[in-house]
Amino acid sequence: MYPIVEWKDNKVYMIDQRILPLEEKYIEHSDYNEVAKSIKDMVIRGAPAIGVAAAMGVALGILNAEKIDDTVFNRIVETISSTRPTAVNLFWAVERMKKIFAQYKYDITLLKRKMKEEALTIDKEDVEINKKIGTNGHVLLKSGQTVLTHCNAGALATAGYGTALGVIRAAVANNKNITVVADETRPYLQGARLTVWELQEDNIPVKLITDNMAGYIMAKGLIDAVIVGADRIAGNGDIANKIGTYSVAVLANYHNIPFYVAAPVSTIDFSIDSGKQIPIEERSKEEVTYFMNQRIARPETEVYNPAFDVTPQHLVSAIVTEKKVLFPDFKTAIDQLQEEEKDSWQ
Ligand code: MRU
């Protein structure tokens, strides 16, 4: 698998996910504004990958700044933070960079080194975290099962290995026969373009369906489990993930199919009690009125284009994190996890 986002010679390189799998091209970023634009334009996407890119963007901003003070730093942070509102990993990564800035801002040479180091640590940690999610989560899957996933929560959505696809990768590494059914994930086609591509690269059997086929396939008994990633998890276990996830969760519930979510602890927003507080990104109407650069509706057509939806916690069977697997009641499980996290920092 190719690097998703990479820091090299004080530049940030990202594989352009907008054109995968038709072209495999890297975009070079030498300025934090370019990183911000690439996050917004979905050159890079997926909550953990956005977090890594955000950290690298902030580090790049500091490295290239001629003068460094609070105003300059805040401008960099605001630019990066205003790119995509739903994935909390972006804000979590920026918070980590803020702490480094506060600690080292009086020694510019040291600050530049520490900012770069922190961004690279976030990158490296993410792969390790995903592998732990895989180890914790694959016990939920049995050999011979067919698992449906929505969007792309794979290596491409992270620094590597993936969250939901990390669980599938770990199951396969443990000699389990797993077949994946991938929703195409309109309008951006992360499932068709990215999930299918990366599973094929790993020789993991995958079948592609359009989003409206999931119900029929579940009713036929062809799906044993659903596993998806998350962009933000509220304190009660409500899950924001790619638009369409909620519909899949309702269908899974109706057909008595377990619905699993795999995400790092950094995706849990301990500051909010419910999914109602999660900001949902609205994207351009052209994403809906065009398909692969071909207009499919009149230009004046009015559209809704929410990029995410919220799955209420009662539809979730388990949340797999790198620390442990959480089961209902999620509020109690998440409160306890938060306490354990506090203890581990003390
Ligand atoms: O709009 P995207 O492609 O950034 O949305 C991505 C998703 O919804 C993923 O499922 C989520 O970020 C989890 S990625 C491990």
Measured between alpha carbons, how far is 244 from 102 in angstroms, rounded to an integer? 40
Give CATH superfamily name and number for 135-345.
Translation initiation factor eif-2b; domain 2 (3.40.50.10470)
Instruction: Verify whether residue 69 is a known catalytic residue.
Output: no
The whole-number average pLDDT for the span 79-104 is: 98
* Residue with CA closest to ligand 1 atom 6: 46
Give the pLDDT of residue 1: 63
Kindly calculate the radius of gyration of the chain based on its CA atoms and give it in whole angstroms: 20
Report the atom number in ligand 1 closest to the C-alpha of 162.
15
pTM: 0.97
Q: How many angstroms separate the alpha carbon of residue 311 from the centre of ligand 1?
A: 14
CA distances from 81 to 8, 51, 58, 64, 288 (A): 23, 10, 10, 18, 25
pLDDT tens, position by position, 18-56? 999 999 999 999 999 999 999 999 999 999 999 999 999
CATH of 5-131, one of 1.20.120.420, 1.20.1250.20, 1.10.569.10, 1.10.10.60: 1.20.120.420
Percent of residues, the chain, with pLDDT higher than 90:
97
Residue 266: CB atoms within 10 Å:
22
Look at residue 101 and tell me whether its pLDDT is greater than 80.
yes
Give the pLDDT of residue 344: 77
Residues with CB under 6 A from ligand 1: 45-48, 87, 151, 153, 157-158, 163, 190, 228-231, 241-242, 307
Report the atom number in ligand 1 closest to the C-alpha of 151.
10
Look at residue 292 and tell me whether its pLDDT is greater than 90.
no
**pLDDT-based confidence at residue 289 (cuts at 50, 70, 90):** very high
DSSP 313: G
Catalytic residue among 231, 238, 269, 309: 231
* Residue with CA closest to ligand 1 atom 15: 153
Instruction: Report domain extents, the chain.
Output: 5-131, 135-345
Percent of residues, the chain, with pLDDT higher than 70:
99
pLDDT tens, position by position, 195-231? 999 999 999 999 999 999 999 999 999 999 999 999 9
Q: How many angstroms separate the alpha carbon of residue 87 from the centre of ligand 1?
A: 8
What rounded mean pLDDT belongs to the chain?
A: 97
